Amino acid sequence: METVFTWARQAKPSQPLTVGAWADFRDAMQRRMMELSDVVSFHGYDARPGIEAKLKLCGDHGRPVLCTEWLFRQGGNTPQTLLPLFRERKIGCYNWGLVAGRTQTYYHWGSKPGTPPPPVWQHDLLHADSTPYDASEIELLRKLSR
C-alpha cells in the first residue's frame, strides 16, 4: 500500500487518492490507510452509534470523508438512520445497489442460490420495475437532496 501510494503520487494525479478502511479503525493498518488518503473513505454496516464512532475516527484526519459501503437494514443501518447523519456531517456516501437485479445485493450475506427473496432487503432501493422497496426511503432521499 505504501509503495502504491508513492507510485501514484509520483504520477501527479488530478484526482484524490484513497483506500477504504473496513475493519478495526484503531488498527495500525487502518489508521495508515486513512493517513495516506486524500479523502478518508470507509465501509460502515454498523447501526448509527457504530457509524458515529467511525466518523469520529475518520474525521480525526481533517480530510473529507466518504462512506463507500453502507445499508444493512437488518442491523439498523438504514436510510432513515444514516442519511440525515451523513447530510448533517457533510459525509459523502453511496451504497452497493440501486435496483434489485443481476447482482442480487438485496439478499443477505451468505444467502444460498435458490433462496427466496428476503422480506427485509440488505441493499437496493428499487424493484426491477422501478417501484421503491420502501417508499419512505425514496421520499427521504428526495427531501434530503433538495
> Is the pTM of the predicted complex or chain greater than 0.85?
yes
CA distances from 37 to 58, 61, 62 (A): 11, 9, 11
Residue 32's contacts (CB-CB under 8 Å, 6 or more residues apart) are 1, 2
Does residue 146 have a pLDDT over 90? Answer: no
Contact 1, 32 (CB under 8 A): yes
What is the three-class DSSP state of 54?
Answer: helix
pLDDT (0 to 100) of residue 17: 97
- Letter for the amino acid at 88? E
- The tens digit of pLDDT for each residue in 17-60 reads 999 999 999 999 999 999 999 999 999 999 999 999 999 999 99
Contact 45, 72 (CB under 8 A): yes
Under the banding of pLDDT at 50, 70 and 90, the label for residue 2 is very high
User: What residue segments make up the domains of the chain, in order of their start?
Assistant: 1-95, 97-146
**How many whole angstroms separate alpha carbon 89 and alpha carbon 58?**
12
Does residue 73 have a pLDDT over 90? Answer: yes
pLDDT (0 to 100) of residue 96: 81
Contact 40, 63 (CB under 8 A): yes
Q: How far is CA 120 from the centre of its chain?
A: 18
Under the banding of pLDDT at 50, 70 and 90, the label for residue 136 is very high
